[in-house]
Chain A
Amino acid sequence: MTAARTPPRRLPGVPRAEDFRSPVHDPRVVARVGALLGGAIVVLFVTGLLSHLSQNPVPWLPFGPSPSWGYRLSQGVHVTVGFACVPLLLAKLYAAYPRLFERPALRGPLHALERGSVAVLVAATTFQIVTGVLNVFQVYPWKFSFLWVHYAAAWVVVGSVVVHVGVKLPVIVPALRSSVAELRAEESGGGPRPPSVVPPAVVPPAGVAADQGQEEDPAQAATSRRGFLAAVAVTTLGVVALTVGQTVRPLAPFAVLAPRDPRVGPQGLPVNKTARSAGVADTATDPAWRLVLTGPGGTRELSRDDLLAMDAVTAVVPIACVEGWSATATWDGVRVRDLVALVGGTADDDVQVDSLQQGGSYASSLLPGAYVAAEDTLLALRLAGEDLDLDHGYPARLVAPNRPGVLQTKWVARMTVLRPGGAA
Chain B
Amino acid sequence: MSAGVRWSRRVLLVGGAALIGFGLWTAWSTVPSSQWPSALVWLAGGVVVHDAVLAPLAVAVGAWVLPRVPPVWRGPLRGGLLAAGTLGVLAIALVAGAADRRNPSVVPQDPLAAIAAAAIAVVIGAVVGAFLAGARPRGGDPDADRATSVSRARRSAGPRR
Contacts and interface: CB of A to CB of B under 8 A. Distances in A.
A152 B107 contact: no
B31 A239 contact: no
Interface string A203-243: 00000111111111101110110011011101100110010
A93 interface: yes
A165 B62 CA distance: 28
Given A211-B62, A224-B75, A166 B55 contact: no
Contact of A220 (B100, B104, B139): B139
Q: Which of A157, A227, A238 has the most CB of B within 10 A?
A: A227
Given A97-B55, A151-B26, A227 B129 contact: yes
A271 B102 CA distance: 10
Contacts of B32: 145
Given A144-B38, A170-B5, A133 B96 contact: no
B16 A161 contact: yes
Interface string B83-126: 10111011001101100111111111100011001100110010
B31 A148 contact: yes
Contact of B20 (A93, A97, A155, A260): A155
Interface string A65-92: 0000000000000000001001100110
Nearest to A157: B23
Contact of A232 (B30, B82, B114): B82
Nearest to B133: A227
Contact of A211 (B67, B118, B137): B67
- Interface size class, chain A: 35 or more
B39 interface: yes
Interface stretch (A119-127, A370-378, A410-418): A119-127
A216 B67 CA distance: 12
Contacts of B66: 22, 211, 213-214
Contacts of A91: 82
Contact of B12 (A141, A148, A169): A169
Contacts of B47: 119, 122-123, 126
Given A8-B63, A127-B43, A259-B97, A138 B102 contact: yes
Contacts of B100: 138-139
B42 A142 contact: yes
Contacts of A122: 46-47, 50
A219 B39 contact: no
Contact of B31 (A152, A160, A212): A152
Interface string A113-151: 000000110111011001101101111011111001101
B144 interface: yes
B17 interface: yes
B138 interface: yes
Contact of B13 (A20, A163, A230, A238): A163
- Interface size class, chain B: 35 or more
A323 to B, nearest CB: 9
B155 interface: no
Interface string A149-192: 10111111111111111110110010000000000000000000
Interface in B16-60: 16-24, 26-27, 30-32, 34-39, 41-47, 49-51, 54-55, 58-59
A12 interface: yes
A383 B36 CA distance: 42
Contact of A138 (B75, B82, B106, B113): B106
Contacts of B31: 144-145, 148-149, 152
B20 A163 contact: yes
Interface string A244-266: 00000000000011011100111
Nearest to B87: A257
B63 A100 contact: no
Q: Please provide the 9 A-B residue pairs with the shortest distance between their CB atoms, ordered closest to farther.
A: A231-B79, A220-B139, A159-B19, A155-B23, A166-B12, A211-B62, A126-B46, A162-B16, A137-B97
12 contacts: A22-B66, A123-B46, A124-B43, A137-B93, A137-B97, A143-B37, A152-B24, A166-B13, A221-B139, A227-B129, A234-B79, A234-B83
Given A227-B78, A238-B121, 13 more contacts: A4-B68, A8-B63, A90-B54, A126-B50, A137-B107, A143-B37, A148-B30, A159-B23, A165-B16, A166-B9, A238-B122, A257-B114, A259-B97
Interface of B: 1, 5, 8-13, 15-24, 26-27, 30-32, 34-39, 41-47, 49-51, 54-55, 58-59, 61-63, 66-68, 70-71, 74-76, 78-80, 82-83, 85-87, 89-90, 93-94, 96-97, 100-109, 113-114, 117-118, 121-122, 125, 129, 133, 136-140, 144
Interface of A: 1, 4-5, 8, 12, 15, 20, 22, 24, 83, 86-87, 90-91, 93-94, 97, 100, 119-120, 122-124, 126-127, 130-131, 133-134, 136-139, 141-145, 148-149, 151-167, 169-170, 173, 208-217, 219-221, 223-224, 227-228, 230-232, 234-235, 238-239, 242, 256-257, 259-261, 264-266, 270-271, 274, 277, 391
